[in-house]
Amino acid sequence: MSSIAHILNRPDVLERGEGRAPNILKTLLAIQAELGHVPPVSVPEIAGALGVTDAQVAGVLFSYPDLRTKPAGRHVVRVCQGESCVANHCGRVLKELEKKLGVGLGETTRDGRFTLEKVYCVGNCAASPTVTIGEDVYGRVSPATAEALLKDYR
Amino acid sequence: MTRRLYIPQDTSARAVGADRLAGAWEKEREVEIIRTSSRGAFYLEPLVETDGPRGRIGWPNATEKDLPRILRGEEGTPVADIPFLAKQTRVTFANAGVTRPLSLEDYRSHGGFVGLDAALRQAPEKVVEEITISQLRGRGGAAFPVGRKWQAAQETHADRKYVVANADEGDAGTYCDRMVMEGEPFRLLEGMLIAAYAIGATKGYIYCRHEYPAAARTLREAIKVLTEAGYLGEDALGGNARAGGRFTLEVFVGAGSYVCGEETALLQSLEGKRGVVQPKPPYPAVSGLHGKPTLISNVLTFATVPSILARGGAWHAALGTEHSKGTIALQIGGRVKQPGLAEVPFGLTLDAAIEEFGGGMATGARFKAVQVGGPLGSLFTKAGLKTRICYDEFARAGAILGHGGIVVFDQETDMVELARHFMAFTADESCGACTPCRIGSVRAREILEGIVQGRGRPGDLELLADLGETMKQASLCALGGRAPYPVLTAIEHFRKEFR
């Protein structure tokens, strides 16, 4: 059984909501939680298991920014682009991280250690600029302190 | 003698070192660490507190080496004397920084469930009436009269009804919902229980954004606690008698889409579909989730409900201005000295918010503009700072209060680049359901990119104004309808920079 088939057979994924229809988003998030991303080649398999069309699955997969269609690096570094961070000149932090990591937004370092992304607000606006690494949130980040955040993430 | 040290576990407090302090000090023999919510005075975080003879004593911006002086009680500030906090009217955030988020005991001893108990002593119709009397308006941004929603949901007959909390707090610059969910989740759940009783709902969802993992975790724990305590579940005390006393709650985590904060898109997403805005009517209160009557409101709106039931609708209606009742949670940020949450009655002027609570500009920064109401909010310059913070005056100024975010920009901000940023955001987040937003935001972004890169053409600004007018008039929801405002107000106030 493929790893995706295994997830699709989990009781919490199979469970039908009160609407009696499968929840495509919940299913894709469950797959991503296990595999780190949802491979687009698996769309027909997922659609078949849920009893919906390929287009319905693909539509959901490609419309949510946090659903990944390819693997990310071991640690996802996100620089917040919310208005409070913009007001606190987060662009300078982003530039510094791009320089230190040698990648641009949406790219992964060659060693697979970091993927650099932007995010629109994580609610840390009163301690901006904000950088997140995985689920860890860092506030009051400056271009001078940004690189030091990375060292604990191997 | 063991000393109690209160350290916040709010995400923003942790982002500036609260966990590091707690980790370093928990091994100390004479110390007991208690993790609380945050006061919301984030410029002071990490703010460590101890018990004093007359309330808590605080040590702002504490570092690891402060422990000896904290234990000796040296140089602390009585928390009640901090002007930023003393000048506020804390209602919904009264317990912020005081209680442990997941302690039912703390919640009960600080006024928890007084509202629910009051609601259960009345007929559901009376509960709806109380909300109507309170003149509460939706705190998410649309400011719709909440009583009318409750009434519609109550009066619509169906075999199943839902209560949904919109926890997709996407407006950049805002975090009050996050503070409620991480800091006092029981308050949100109590508000939802009261709503369920009033309209006769048996099932509720909290749609929490993906960017708030700590909030989602805390809510799931809080639901567990309330289920074990008999408030939630199949035979719950707090449930609706007409529905056999049942009310169950579930947290649903989204996948990073701003437009899912729009109620019809949110309900689509909750059903697992693409988050696409639907035309109204039908309104969700009549036909919402799975086609059933659904009461959907913002987190802060539900969190306001327990106080209204506890103190009465008339109490709430006595706070604020003529058409803006109650308190507003201002989230003051950007280049101010004292970023944080200020809960005050409606009616404060914008400059008072920035000066009295924000503490004025940060060191070295000069005021250039302020945006109120998130990424779709209008920009104000110095000339607009006398505007009072209430729905009426903001509507007259063509502006919105949104979710209460106030972001101050300094003299180093490039307004053309900022305008491009705003429109790029809308182009990124447009759901594509209507043409003015889907195409308009992309064209407007392209024009602004051209100006940023020095390729601006004569007529660009007129074209932006024309395009903006079309988006305002013809978009299906507020994303397209409001997106032109920050851009057009930037052009209006800083026209020279757009040449």
Query: Is B169's CB within 8 Å of A88's CB?
Result: no
- To the nearest whole Å, the CA of B388 is away from the closest chain A CA by 22
- Are A43 and A108 contained in the same domain? no
**Residue B95 within any structural domain of the chain:** no
Give the pLDDT confidence of B312-329 residue by residue, as tens digits: 999 999 999 999 999 999
Residue B331 structure tokens: 């989230």
- pLDDT averaged over every residue in chain A: 94
Interacting residues of B21 by C-beta distance below 8 A, sequence separation 6+: B7, B46, B48, B62, B63, B64
Beta-carbon pairs below 8 A across chains A and B = 160
Percentage of chain B lying above the pLDDT 70 cut: 98
Whose tokens are 């006092």? That residue is B184
**Burial class of B158 by CB neighbour count within 10 A (0 to 12, 13 to 18, 19+):** middle
Whole-number pLDDT of residue B459: 96
Whole-number pLDDT of residue B238: 53
The reported pTM is 0.96
Give the pLDDT confidence of A86-121 residue by residue, as tens digits: 999 999 999 999 999 999 999 999 999 999 999 999
Count: domains in chain A: 2
Q: Give me the interface pTM, i.e. the ipTM.
A: 0.96
pLDDT at A62 over 60: yes
Query: Is B256's CB within 8 Å of A65's CB?
Result: yes
Residue B423 structure tokens: 């429109």
Whole-number pLDDT of residue B243: 47
- To the nearest whole Å, the CA of A81 is away from the closest chain B CA by 8
**Residue B92 within any structural domain of the chain:** no
- Are B158 and B14 contained in the same domain? no
**Residue A68 within any structural domain of the chain:** no
Residue B115 structure tokens: 């509202």
- Are B43 and B166 contained in the same domain? no
Percentage of chain A lying above the pLDDT 70 cut: 97
- Are A115 and A144 contained in the same domain? yes
Give the pLDDT confidence of A117-145 residue by residue, as tens digits: 999 999 999 999 999 999 999 999 999 99
Count: domains in chain B: 4
Residue A48 lies in domain: 3-63
CATH code for the domain in which residue B454 is found: 1.20.1440.230
- Are A93 and A54 contained in the same domain? no
- Are B240 and B146 contained in the same domain? yes
**Residue A93 within any structural domain of the chain:** yes
Please state, in angstroms and rounded to a whole number, the distance separating the CA atoms of residues A43 and B468: 38
CATH code for the domain in which residue B58 is found: 3.40.30.10
**Last-in-domain residue among A16, A38, A63:** A63
Residue B264 lies in domain: 104-317
Q: Which residue ranges of chain B lie beneath pLDDT 50? A: 242-244
Beta bridge partners of B341: B331
Measured from the Cβ of residue B233, the count of other Cβ atoms closer than 10 Å reads: 19
**Last-in-domain residue among B410, B432, B464:** B410
Give the pLDDT confidence of B248-298 residue by residue, as tens digits: 999 999 999 999 999 999 999 999 999 999 999 999 999 999 999 999 999
Most A CBs within 10 Å, among B10, B12, B14, to test the A interface: B12
Query: Is A119's CB within 8 Å of B331's CB?
Result: no
**Residue B99 within any structural domain of the chain:** no
Measured from the Cβ of residue B269, the count of other Cβ atoms closer than 10 Å reads: 27
Contact B352/B378 with Cβ under 8 angstroms? no
Task: Please give the angle made by the CA atoms of B329, B387 and B448, to the nearest 5 degrees.
Answer: 90
Residue A10 structure tokens: 């989990």
